[in-house]
Amino acid sequence: MSYADDLRKHARIAILRFLEDAPKYTSNVSMLATQLPRVGIAYTRDQVTTEAHWLREQGLVELEDHAGFVVVVATTRGAEIAQGIARHPEIQRPRPGA
């Protein structure tokens, strides 16, 4: 597995965990792009948008597009993955107690 593949897996769990901590499990791409560097992932807004769309395809988030301003909402399944209750092979599993 490449560094880029590992980075994507980590970015995906980070996005889901940020959503889990957000009020109503909701944030936006701009805010998520601001938060990812806090965990060592320097993604552009375009990269975050790409991952948000991938997460939607997996049924882990819902997206609302307001004239290019993308709002991201975790689904129940997305929250379960963020908590480590459920797994997905293309998303890094969170460490216990993390």
Domain map (residue ranges) of the chain:
3-83
Q: Convert the pLDDT of each residue in 26-49 to its tens digit.
A: 999 999 999 999 999 999 999 999
> What is the average per-residue pLDDT within 81-95?
96
In degrees and rounded to multiples of 5, residue 9 shows phi and psi of -60, -40
Amino acid identity, position 7? L
To the nearest 10°, report the CA torsion of 80, 86, 88, 93: 80
| pLDDT, averaged across the chain | 96
Distance of CA 55 to the CA centre of its chain: 7
CATH of domain 3-83: 1.10.10.10
How far apart, in Å, are the Cα atoms of 19 and each of 2, 3, 23? 26, 24, 8
Output the pTM of the full model: 0.95
CA distance 71 to 63: 6
Q: Percent of the chain at pLDDT above 70?
A: 98
